[in-house]
Amino acid sequence: MAQVLEFKLPDLGEGLTEAEIVRWLVEIGDVVAIDQPVVEVETAKAMVEVPCPYGGVVTARFGEEGTELPVGAPLITVAVGERAPSGGGAEEAGSESSGNVLVGYGTSEAPARRRRVRQEPVAGAAPTTAVNGRAGVPEAEDGPLPVISPLVRRLARQNGLDLRELTGSGPDGLILRADVEYALRAAPRPAATEAPAPRAAATAAPGEIRTPLKGMRGAVADKLSRSRREIPDATCWVDADATELMRARTAMNTAGGPKISLLALLARICTAALARFPELNSTVDAQAREVVRFDHVHLGFAAQTDRGLVVPVVRDAHARDAESLSAEFARLTEAGRTGTLTPGELTGGTFTLNNYGVFGVDGSTPIINHPEAAMLGVGRIVPKPWVHEGELAVRQVVQLSLTFDHRVCDGGTAGGFLRYVADCVEQPAVLLRTL
């Protein structure tokens, strides 16, 4: 007899606690193989195909397209242990599963430690969420509050809920959005004189168009708000003559070989500047009241896509030459446009480069990509009057701006970094010898 196994939305990593169903890849009654993708979901960071660790026949699906599910919620049930009636090549799944979590994040040979079973919450004294009527009791652990998602914290804060009173239903007692929502449903209803429900639940008034802040747009909104709320930032800027940098790039690209992008040259300048001013390649541990400085540069760069703003990260940018940087920028930009960036490619940055000049603007005051300590903004490069060698001339001028966390350094360090970047833009010959 077949055994019906329930496959739940897995932990997608990097602190992601929920995802929206974009497209089902299987129907009820379909035969699926181990590690076959069954649903495409959109997290706050990327589009992801989720593979099922069981082989068998799909007996149920949970959630329509467009539904947002928390980690640990049921996705599908699969009858395993018998072949499909047609015998058309379906594997006999037995009681084994692959342990796979995401496409490309493992194989059918994944170690058993990845096949962890999520505890289901208790519907009772503890304010957690029960799934399909079955529940288990996750044990609370001492230590920091087990909440990762800022969305969960905000929901609790808006409704006056103390998260320390909750028992999380996620892995290792992690408090999920579903736990907070269950606690709010179980709490006594507020009197009519109390504060009204959050505006998010309101209906649009005449002349209004309301768009939910969720998915990538919501994640961007939360991150920018957190940056402004937690980081005491300051901005400095300077105009620079980029004529020689543009000539150098032209010369490099006419010499044959792979084309070098302007962004790659700016990134190479950034990594050289960070080597001289490492205070800006850091983050602040507010709880420990410490500045954490990194010995590597994972360089994020802002990229606008049809799905919104993303900041892919070039790992170990300090160890790459201009050719390698150009290739990696191109690869990550294309992945951003197609929605195939992985969570790992969107996190872990230590410094961000923002070329907003592509939008045809000269300057901006960038918002720091929390929890980093600085961001360099680059405006458009355009012909402008400029005093060159004592004479008024038309030169290719660019405005550079640096927003920095004033906790990690003072203005002298930030000004020194920006001045070094501007000097390299104006006289790139010495730097370009190392590319």
Distance CA 261, CA 259 (A): 6
In the set 296, 298, 388, 406, the catalytic residue is 406
The pair of three-digit structure tokens given for residue 418, joined into one six-digit string: 């920006």
Q: Distance between CA atoms of 151 and 343, rounded to whole angstroms?
A: 17
What are the CA-CA distances from residue 2 to residues 45, 77, 108, 133, 391 (Å)? 37, 12, 21, 22, 86
Q: Which residue has the tokens 């990327």?
A: 46
Is residue 370 part of the annotated active site? The answer reads no
Q: First vs last Cα of the chain: how many Å apart?
A: 65
- Residues 177 and 147 sit within 8 Å (Cβ to Cβ): no
What are the phi and psi torsion angles at 355 (to 5°)?
-95, 80
Taking a C-beta distance cutoff of 8 angstroms, is the pair 50, 39 a contact? yes
**What is 8-40 written as a DSSP string?**
EPP--STT--EEEEEEE---TT-EE-TTEEEEE
Query: What does the buried/exposed string (b/e) look like for 92-111 if buried means 16 or more CB atoms within 10 Å of the residue's CB?
Result: ebeeebbbbbbeebbeeebe
Ramachandran assignment for 7, one of left (phi > 0), alpha (psi -120 to 50 degrees), beta (any other): beta
Sequence-distant (6+) residues with CB within 8 A of 347 are 14, 45, 313
Question: Catalytic site residues?
Answer: 406
